[in-house]
């Protein structure tokens, strides 16, 4: 009896339905459902186990205290940024999704890291490029690395998971990198590569493989600018770790961000610079992200933020001009638009600044996207500076959140922020008065006792304005 199982999938978010529907109940897209065959008539629908016949491993109940609590032995790459983003190296048996826009450099980064894992057997599976293309790219990346580094690097240009698993069984790699998950197809499902059901099933096969053999697997997946193409998105809950590789194609800097990590902290960040010979890790990002000029311009403020576990000083640029059209414009790059509107409302109400007739532009230098609320204060000061057309004082940076009533609120890990500002040669940092560095109760004591940088504490936006201008 032939029995083919079919289902409808939203091509936007991956929502599954037994019948066709016009509007997706999950993401509200219209006309996004496509029918896909999810299971052909086969005895056993299991890609990895079909080639992996041994079934000796049976699960029994065990006493918790009998389980050896072994510290996970992580695989360290030569790339410090990557190790940190992964929470301290690659966990054996983990499955890691690497999402990013096409052409941003995901392949370069992972090819480069694979090539440099000299003591591990790495299998790089590409469905995107030919062997010749990858060889050319590898030669370019390895200009500065001696050749023995690559002796354990294997390449497979294949898209069928059936053939891939046959090869994996022969080779027994230590690490598998798949570029990309959208090009794979499993013979057990009848829809085309890149469709929702194919992506889901191929990822599931690699997940079983990773868990059974304790081999880490990297799945590279493409997403669009809106970050909403169905493919990789639906995998987020299946995998252990989700890394996002982002950045503007026109800038040299790229950011590798942790969105989910079962084995470490999320919101971790690695910064790379794209060069001719691959991705170069940027170990001291604050230095490149701020341009300290002697004659300071108006509208520029430096924020002391924390990304992941790392303090980061960034430059905020604001431009406030007379609006020429009826509706004033608010344009942001790297900052939340609603947050800007809120700050403008606070300034309007508490300080009497009439931004209602002004166009306002906010830009975070270097193409970064910052979500840390502590940059509020720097954004606010950049706005005021541009509004007044007066530069802010030299060598001064800011760390504080701004509340609706115009109060400057405390932010976490203030000591780290102050220390980073001090390290980079700032002379003054302005923080919330509710944010006295740990353990110090008197304002006078902070700067002299602990830091060589002057720490100025402020309670209200008005007070700050009087202080700065």
Element at 256 (helix H, strand E): strand 253-261
CB-based contacts of 214: which residues, under 8 Å, 6+ apart? 92, 93
Count of residues near Zn ion by CB under 5 A:
7
Q: How far is CA 237 from CA 244, 260, 269, in A?
A: 14, 9, 21
Name which of 8 and 387 has its Cβ closer to Zn ion: 8
Question: Cβ closer to Zn ion: 191 or 258?
Answer: 191
Q: DSSP of 313-330, one letter per residue?
A: EEEEEEEEEE--SSSPPE
1-20 residues in contact with Zn ion (CB under 5 A) are 10, 12-13, 15
**How far apart, in whole angstroms, are the C-alpha atoms of residue 228 and residue 207?**
23
Nearest approach, Cβ of 221 to Zn ion (angstroms)?
18
Task: Considering the complex, state which of residue 210 and residue 234 has its C-beta at the smaller distance from Zn ion.
Answer: 234
Q: Is 26 in the site for Zn ion (CB under 5 A)?
A: yes
Residue in 7, 16, 21, 27 binding Zn ion, rule: CB under 5 A: 27
Measured between alpha carbons, how far is 268 from 248 in angstroms, rounded to an integer?
Answer: 19
Q: Which two tokens stand for residue 374?
A: 């502590």
CB 382 to Zn ion: min, Å: 39
CA atoms within 13 A of residue 150's CA, in its CB half-sphere: 16
Closest to Zn ion by CB, 25 or 148: 25
Taking the complex as a whole, the smallest distance from the CB of residue 25 to Zn ion amounts, in Å, to: 8
Q: For residue 25, what are the contacts with CB-CB under 8 A and spacing of at least 6?
A: 15
Q: How far is the CB of 239 from Zn ion (least distance, A)?
A: 20
SS3 130: coil
Going along 149-252, which residue ranges are E strands?
153-156, 175-179, 217-222, 241-246
Element housing 261 (H / E): strand 253-261
Q: Work out how close the CB of 226 gets to Zn ion at its nearest, in angstroms, rounded to a whole number.
A: 13
CA dist list (Å): 468 to 409, 430, 456: 18, 10, 11
For residue 230, the minimal CB distance to Zn ion (Å) is: 8
CA distance 122 to 117: 8
Q: Is the peptide bond before 234 cis (omega within 30 degrees of 0)?
A: no
Crossing angle of helices 337-351 and 376-388, in 10° steps, is: 60
Q: Which is nearer to Zn ion, 197 or 207 (CB)?
A: 197
Q: Between 12 and 358, whose beta carbon lies closer to Zn ion?
A: 12
Shorter beta-carbon distance to Zn ion: residue 19 or 65: 19
Write down the least CB distance from residue 266 to Zn ion, Å: 25
Cβ atoms of 243 and 259 closer than 8 Å: yes
The torsion of the CA quartet 122, 126, 130, 131, rounded to 10 degrees, works out to: 10
Nearer to Zn ion, 15 or 165 (CB): 15
Q: Least separation, in Å, of the C-beta of 21 and Zn ion?
A: 10
Comparing CB distances to Zn ion, the nearer of 24 and 235 is: 24
| The only residue of 9, 24, 285, 312 in contact with Zn ion, by rule CB under 5 A | 24
| Angle at 128 (CA atoms; ends 122, 132), nearest 5 degrees | 70
For residue 227, the minimal CB distance to Zn ion (Å) is: 14
Residues that bind Zn ion (CB under 5 A): 10, 12-13, 15, 24, 26-27
């Amino acid at each position: 009896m032939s029995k083919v199982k079919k289902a409808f999938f939203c091509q936007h978010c991956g929502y599954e339905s037994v019948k066709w529907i016009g509007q997706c109940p999950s993401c509200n897209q219209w006309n996004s459902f496509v029918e896909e065959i999810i299971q052909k008539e086969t005895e056993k629908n299991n890609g990895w186990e079909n080639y992996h016949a041994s079934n000796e491993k049976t699960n029994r109940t065990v006493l918790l205290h009998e389980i050896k609590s072994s510290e996970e032995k992580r695989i360290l790459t030569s790339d410090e940024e990557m190790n940190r983003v992964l929470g301290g190296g690659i966990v054996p048996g983990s499955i890691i999704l690497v999402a990013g826009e096409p052409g941003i450099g995901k392949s370069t980064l992972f090819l480069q890291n694979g090539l440099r894992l000299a003591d591990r057997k790495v299998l790089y599976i590409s469905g995107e490029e030919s062997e010749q293309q990858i060889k050319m790219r590898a030669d370019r990346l390895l200009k500065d690395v001696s050749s023995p580094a690559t002796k354990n690097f294997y390449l497979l240009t294949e898209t069928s998971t059936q053939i891939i698993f046959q090869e994996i069984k022969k080779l027994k790699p230590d690490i598998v990198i798949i570029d990309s998950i959208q090009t794979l197809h499993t013979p057990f499902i009848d829809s085309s590569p890149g469709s929702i059901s194919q992506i889901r099933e191929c990822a599931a096969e690699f997940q079983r493989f990773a868990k059974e053999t304790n081999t880490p697997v990297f799945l590279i997946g493409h997403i669009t600018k809106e970050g909403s193409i169905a493919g990789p998105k639906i995998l987020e809950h299946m995998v252990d770790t989700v890394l996002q590789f982002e950045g503007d194609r026109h800038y040299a800097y790229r950011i590798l961000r942790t969105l989910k990590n079962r084995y470490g902290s999320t919101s971790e960040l690695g910064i790379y610079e794209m060069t001719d010979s691959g991705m170069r890790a940027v170990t001291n990002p604050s230095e490149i992200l701020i341009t300290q000029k002697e004659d300071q311009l108006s509208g520029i403020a430096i924020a002391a933020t924390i990304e992941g576990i790392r303090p980061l000083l960034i430059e905020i640029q604001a431009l406030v001009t007379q609006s020429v059209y009826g509706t004033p414009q608010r344009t942001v790059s790297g900052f939340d638009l609603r947050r800007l509107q809120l700050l403008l409302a606070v300034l309007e109400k508490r300080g009497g600044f009439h931004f209602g007739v002004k166009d306002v532009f906010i830009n975070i230098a270097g193409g970064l996207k910052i979500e840390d609320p502590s940059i509020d204060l720097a954004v606010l000061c950049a706005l005021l500076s541009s509004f007044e057309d007066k530069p802010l004082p030299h060598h001064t940076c800011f760390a504080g959140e701004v509340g609706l009533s115009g109060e400057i609120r405390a932010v976490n890990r203030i000591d780290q922020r102050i220390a980073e500002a001090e390290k980079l040669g700032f002379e003054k940092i302005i923080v919330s008065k509710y944010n006295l560095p740990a353990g110090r109760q008197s304002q006078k004591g902070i700067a002299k006792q602990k830091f060589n940088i002057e720490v100025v504490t402020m309670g209200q936006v008005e007070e700050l304005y009087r202080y700065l201008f």
